[in-house]
Amino acid sequence: MAYRILFIEHMAGIGGGQVYLIELLKKLDRARFEPVVTLVSPGELRDRVAAAGAKTEILDIRRIRHRHPGVALGSLVRLLKVIRKHHIDLIHVNSQKALLFALPAGLISRTPVVWHCHVDRDFGKVYDVIGSLFSSVIVTNSNYVSGRFDRVPLAGRKLRLVHNGIDTANIRPRDGCRIRKELGIPEGRLVVGTFGRLQEEKGMRYFVEAAPLVAARVPEADFLIVGGTFDPGDTYQDCLRSMAEASGISSRITFAGFRSDIIDCVAAMDIVVIPSLREGLPLAVAEAMALEKPIVATSVGGIPEMIEDGKNGLLVRPRDGRMIADQVVKLAGDPALRSELGKAARVVAKAKFDLDVHVEKIQSIYEEVLG
């Protein structure tokens, strides 16, 4: 009989964490595990989770706030009902916000909790201590993220390192002509692109800062930004557009917004820039690597565990648009180097970040905890 695994999701939109969840659900061995997912609302994420073969329940936990996290008693009661209704054997949480619901529910229902930690910090050390005390296992995606638990009592014996996984069999080099035509990018242009959520920690402003510096030295370059924001009130995207207008080259910068065909969009890029200020082990980097793209990325978080500077990509300082521009110009003028870095990046992606290997490690952790 298969074990029943409950995933608690705290976001309505689709970002890296939600893409990870969908891919994991697709690959879970249904002879061993039956997934159930709580979602904060109906919509595209629920549709994609259901299409991945998981049962769904609506449970809105967005009332948890960053500065004053708390669990509404009514929501906790509803979560306990979900656990009883589906006879849940184990709870897998992807974020510390979800963990704040999962831990009390797990304690009350005597259901073990696996905490999958993707970032280097959330609410602070106190919550790390609580999470490590009451979680059965803490899964981290990089050595960098594991470091947040170095001084947390009892955490060390619970840590399991499992690198993020992507489907390298399907995410492979492909033609990006369709996207270029759709976005109105003329033939023969060198497309320098970035993708991800448009928010401060992704460092997109430094991509926009670099664009005019590149344009002045590479006349054939155009620039592509793929992504949006989950919060309609967030003004960061407007700031980026204003920066682009002020740069004098706004006609060469395309804001494509959110796209469901993100992999095809990245395939349309000749050079990929990841200008993040904070990361754990970003799926965006792994996806660009699998697509055999030359990458310019900031040396933050777990990115140096993915990219060896000069071997399978180029690393730059964070918050440095000029350094980004210099490295992009270097790649623009050297097609052989672009090809060499891209091919090496795919080799590393297949060896270290394959989804099948990742999923089997996660399933082994489930069986370790339940056994």
Q: What is the pLDDT of residue 72?
A: 64
Total-model pTM: 0.89
Bridging pattern class, strands 3-8 and 90-93: parallel
Q: How far apart are CA 77 and CA 71, in angstroms?
A: 10
Listed as ranges, residues in the chain with pLDDT below 70 are 63-72, 122
Helix, coil or strand: residue 1: coil
Beta bridge partners of 33: 3
- 162, 167, 153: which is closest to 23 by C-alpha? 167
Q: What is the pLDDT of residue 122?
A: 67
CATH tag, 3-165+354-370: 3.40.50.2000
pLDDT in tens, 172-193: 999 999 999 999 999 999 999 9
Q: Percentage of residues in the chain with pLDDT exceeding 90?
A: 82
Q: How far apart are CA 112 and CA 165, in angstroms?
A: 24
pLDDT in tens, 46-101: 999 999 999 999 998 875 444 444 446 788 899 999 999 999 999 999 888 889 88
Q: What is the pLDDT of residue 146?
A: 95
Q: What is the pLDDT of residue 68?
A: 42
Q: What is the pLDDT of residue 267?
A: 98
Q: Does the fold of domain 177-352 match that of domain 3-165+354-370?
A: yes
Could you state, in order of their start, the residue ranges of all structural domains in the chain? 3-165+354-370, 177-352
Q: What is the pLDDT of residue 63?
A: 58
Q: What is the pLDDT of residue 120?
A: 80
The conformational region for residue 103 under phi > 0 = left, psi -120 to 50 = alpha, else beta, is alpha
CATH topology of domain 177-352: Rossmann fold (3.40.50)
What sign does the CA torsion over 121, 122, 123, 129 have? negative
Q: How far apart are CA 209 and CA 368, in angstroms?
A: 48
pLDDT in tens, 339-371: 999 999 999 999 999 999 999 999 999 999 998
Q: What is the pLDDT of residue 67?
A: 43
Q: What is the pLDDT of residue 65?
A: 46
